Structure 1
Amino acid sequence: MTTQRPFVPPEPRIGVLGSYGGLNTGDEAILTCVLTCLRAHRPRARLVVFSRDAEHTRAHQPLADEALDWEGVPHRTLLETLSGLDLLVLGGGGILYDGEARRYLRLVRAAQLGGVRTFAYAVGAGPLREPDDREAVRTVLSAMDEVVVRDEESRLVLEEAGVERDVTVTADPALLLPPEPFTARMMAAEGVPAGARLVGMSVREPGRAAEHLNEGDYHALIAGVADFLVRRLDAHVVFVPMERQDVRHAHAVLSRMAAPDRGRILNGAYSPGQVLGLMRHLDLVVGMRLHFLIFAALSGLPVLPLPYAGKVFDFARRLGAPTLVGVAREQSGLLLAELDRLWDEFPQRRPELVARVRGLQDLARETGVRCGALLDDLDDLHGRAAQAPGPEREKSLLAVDEV
């Protein structure tokens, strides 16, 4: 009598597609957290990152088994790689916006047509007004196994674009990033004085994802905020670039300050974990970049978001932070009043901030649970196919390949 051996599912090949490759510290934080989650659920899975700079990803993402360029690569080559996947994970991060959405979704659609399961991992959406991008979003997201977005604003954007399916709202994957050391020696190398009160600031460039920013207005506004904090708190201001372009805009703000000698712009190249570790040196944070604000919140700092887009406004609301509307010079008085109130009241507010951050972290973990459930479903399909007798087994295996 032959004893049937228990079925052991094959280890899956999982692709991860996003704006990766060292272009943005926040996106790299997301990739680290997505890969960590996938590795925890499937320790021996083959993790393939589709990157905009594969060399950077290979050097900085040790959890990735492969990193492949997807821009400027022959379509046939990409199709061959996509067809060998069991699952393609889109995101996370804000990638579904005008001019970019259709580019990412072209790969997702190719995977779907090749029978690959697809999962949107806490993505961000908006603005979405271009007809081609809206059509791509409607078509591709409707065919995905599950769509998870990181905030309510993104869900509303997808609904307005015509997506008619269940969309789950969780939170940004970077809320699960662990800190790495940012030492006193590193601070000294950046010219930041020891023992001083420090305010962290983050600025960004205008563009498709920040279409309402006016350079002159917001540079002057933030310079005024920085000078106010220098006087009010006897502080030094540390500008933290999250993208290369941020450096130029930080210099533009510094040049408009009345006390530019009290400002420093970080020049080193740091990992997302190190930027998170930097937060322990700061006393207050004012910023535009979403992940700069997330890192500050994870560190329990008083945070004043400057909402240039819906995703920042949404995060401020969920955090219980002041929810200013937009970044414009006429808001200067309101902004300074909020800063005053935030600094004075933060000792009483801090327990609520900590509780809200924990709640957001629980939501961020839920995305991983949902993705893991899809992987378990794939195992069940393979298992049923392997256990089917004779010809039925061959039919089942063919059906699994066609899913």
Structure 2
Amino acid sequence: MTHDQLQPTAPSDLRIGLLGSYGGCNTGDEAILKCIMSCLRAHRPDARLVVFSRNAEHTRLHQPQADEVVDWEGVPQKPVLDTLGSLDLLVLGGGGILYDGEARRYLRLVRAAHERGVPTFAYAVGAGPLRDADDREAVRAVLPEMTDVVVRDEESRLVLEEVGIERDLTVTADPALLLPPEPFTEQMMRHEGLPLDARLVGMSVREPGRAAEKLDEADYHALLADVADFLARRLEAHIVFVPMERQDVRHAHGVLSRMSAPDRGRILNNSYSPGEILGFMSHLDIVVGMRLHVVIFAALTGLPVLPLPYSGKVFDFARRTGAPALVGVAREQAGLLLAEVDRLWDEFPLRQDDLRNRVHGLQALARETCVRCGTLLDSLDGGTGGAQHAEHAHLSLAGPQARPA
């Protein structure tokens, strides 16, 4: 059963909270939020969706499915906690939020929901790296108390098991695999100064940081410049950098500055919705990507894509789609990387059907998360419009374990 086929139950006054890295910081996270809300709307069109946002103004403007938006960072906490206590369910995630420096912050609110008797559902979350003692302790204390925990990849399950989580962890796939594309028109292409009659190579870069701690900025800028120059020559193509966060623009300029043919490079300058970025992929011929959701969008579009695995989540997605999966992003790998992208271009016509089948399998797994969340919602009110929180705080759900795609 797909999320579109979930049958709505009787009208209810369910209040569902959504907590994640929402508020416009990252296009991939906004895609996840859009897909989760679409799932909940399909199952419970009358439920009230309450989004906990890092930038409430951005969320109100760009996520019209949200009924309420609550700032939760840098504000007095009593209104936030009061809102938590009014919920029938708190949905954590999805996306990569359980990592060093961040996990404890999200799980503080999840713990507060538990203290108020609110059931909680981890919606295809990502985990790792998790080495900080405080974050590991928060994970060990809070996740066993959650009503159900679904992770988006095997890497996340392994990270959580290493931390000491012994409860059942269901593996599905990233919610953004269910994102519908929106048109990226010829007028939008012209506005970006992009040619309509030339091959285009999409490229995605990101900043080093807690979620990408092994990246060396100068090293990978030079590496990607080599790849961009090679593809510009090999395919007589233009290189288009696709920023998913504001910081990506600076790193795109860093790669451009090291290219021998920077005139062949462009950076998308305007702000676009996740669906429009997905729609933009239809104009590309091949993608080389660091950002997970650029890689996902390319795979959804059926493009040849070379993931650059700066972290386990990208490596895991590469493995599940059958894409070349290099180990790390370092300048000494330039020869291997150029050989891989050259082979990918030549052999992709033979691999296209396999990619399509693998993506369909991952989309089916993403729908399993939606169905699982819908089952939990049904158990909470039985069609009566809401039940007592405490009776459901530790509800155990049975469901199929995901299999590798």
- Rounded Cα–Cα distance in structure 2 between residues aligned with 1:235 and 1:117: 52
- Rounded Cα–Cα distance in structure 2 between residues aligned with 1:123 and 1:173: 9
Which residue of 216, 238, 241 corresponds with 1:239?
A: 241
Instruction: Report if the CA contact (8 A) 1:11-1:42 is conserved.
Output: no
Which residue of 32, 35, 43 corresponds with 1:33?
A: 35
Match in the other structure for 2:165: 163
The alpha-carbon deviation at position 155 of structure 1 amounts to 0.3
- Rounded Cα–Cα distance in structure 1 between residues aligned with 2:274 and 2:350: 29
Equivalent positions of 1:171-186 (< 5 A) are 171-186=173-188
Match in the other structure for 1:121: 123
The alpha-carbon deviation at position 400 of structure 1 amounts to 4.5
In terms of mean alpha carbon deviation, does 185-194 or 174-183 score higher? Answer: 185-194
> Unaligned regions of 5+ residues in structure 1, if any?
1-6, 386-396
Which residue of 267, 284, 287 corresponds with 1:285?
A: 287
The alpha-carbon deviation at position 194 of structure 1 amounts to 1.9
Give SS of 2:25's match. coil
Equivalent positions of 1:99-138 (< 5 A) are 99-138=101-140
Match in the other structure for 2:399: none
Match in the other structure for 2:16: 14
Q: Partner letter of residue 177 of structure 2?
A: L
Match in the other structure for 2:402: none
- Rounded Cα–Cα distance in structure 2 between residues aligned with 1:57 and 1:71: 14
Equivalent positions of 1:4-403 (< 5 A) are 10-380=12-382, 400=391
- Rounded Cα–Cα distance in structure 2 between residues aligned with 1:402 and 1:104: 18
Match in the other structure for 1:392: none
Instruction: Report if the CA contact (8 A) 1:34-1:173 is conserved.
Output: yes
The alpha-carbon deviation at position 10 of structure 1 amounts to 3.4
Change over 3 Å in CA distance of 1:335–1:401 after alignment to 2 = closer
- Rounded Cα–Cα distance in structure 2 between residues aligned with 1:384 and 1:67: 21
> Unaligned regions of 5+ residues in structure 2, if any?
1-8, 395-405
- Rounded Cα–Cα distance in structure 1 between residues aligned with 2:69 and 2:337: 43
- Rounded Cα–Cα distance in structure 2 between residues aligned with 1:235 and 1:276: 20
Change over 3 Å in CA distance of 1:401–1:351 after alignment to 2 = closer
The alpha-carbon deviation at position 78 of structure 1 amounts to 1.3
Instruction: Report if the CA contact (8 A) 2:14-2:385 is conserved.
Output: no
- Rounded Cα–Cα distance in structure 2 between residues aligned with 1:194 and 1:232: 19
- Rounded Cα–Cα distance in structure 2 between residues aligned with 1:331 and 1:8: 57
Instruction: Report if the CA contact (8 A) 1:9-1:379 is conserved.
Output: no
Q: Partner letter of residue 213 of structure 1?
A: L
Query: Once the two structures are superposed, what CA deviation does each residue of 1:212-260 show, in whole Å capped at 9, x if it has no partner?
Result: 0000100000000000001111111000100000000000100100000
Instruction: Report if the CA contact (8 A) 1:87-1:119 is conserved.
Output: yes
Instruction: Report if the CA contact (8 A) 1:382-1:400 is conserved.
Output: no
Q: Partner letter of residue 152 of structure 1?
A: E
- Rounded Cα–Cα distance in structure 2 between residues aligned with 1:262 and 1:330: 24
Match in the other structure for 1:389: none
Give SS of 1:95's match. strand
Give SS of 2:382's match. helix
Q: Percent identity?
A: 76
Q: Partner letter of residue 66 of structure 1?
A: E
Q: Partner letter of residue 52 of structure 1?
A: R
- Rounded Cα–Cα distance in structure 2 between residues aligned with 1:352 and 1:402: 42
Q: Partner letter of residue 92 of structure 2?
A: L
Instruction: Report if the CA contact (8 A) 2:110-2:142 is conserved.
Output: yes
The alpha-carbon deviation at position 382 of structure 1 amounts to 5.6
- Rounded Cα–Cα distance in structure 2 between residues aligned with 1:8 and 1:273: 31
The alpha-carbon deviation at position 164 of structure 1 amounts to 1.2
Aligned length: 386
- Rounded Cα–Cα distance in structure 2 between residues aligned with 1:194 and 1:402: 55
Give SS of 1:348's match. helix
Higher relative contact order (CA 8 A, sep 6+): 2
Q: Partner letter of residue 294 of structure 2?
A: F
Give SS of 1:286's match. strand
- Rounded Cα–Cα distance in structure 2 between residues aligned with 1:243 and 1:8: 40
Give SS of 2:257's match. helix
In terms of mean alpha carbon deviation, does 313-322 or 372-381 score higher? Answer: 372-381
- Rounded Cα–Cα distance in structure 1 between residues aligned with 2:132 and 2:298: 34
Match in the other structure for 2:5: none
- Rounded Cα–Cα distance in structure 1 between residues aligned with 2:273 and 2:52: 19
Change over 3 Å in CA distance of 1:132–1:382 after alignment to 2 = farther
- Rounded Cα–Cα distance in structure 2 between residues aligned with 1:218 and 1:357: 28
- Provide TM-score, normalisation by structure 2: 0.93
The alpha-carbon deviation at position 11 of structure 1 amounts to 2.4
Query: Once the two structures are superposed, what CA deviation does each residue of 1:247-303 show, in whole Å capped at 9, x if it has no partner?
Result: 000001001000000000110000000000000000000010000000000000000
Q: Partner letter of residue 196 of structure 2?
A: A
Change over 3 Å in CA distance of 1:384–1:179 after alignment to 2 = closer
- Rounded Cα–Cα distance in structure 1 between residues aligned with 2:47 and 2:385: 17
- Rounded Cα–Cα distance in structure 1 between residues aligned with 2:108 and 2:393: 20
- Rounded Cα–Cα distance in structure 2 between residues aligned with 1:9 and 1:54: 27
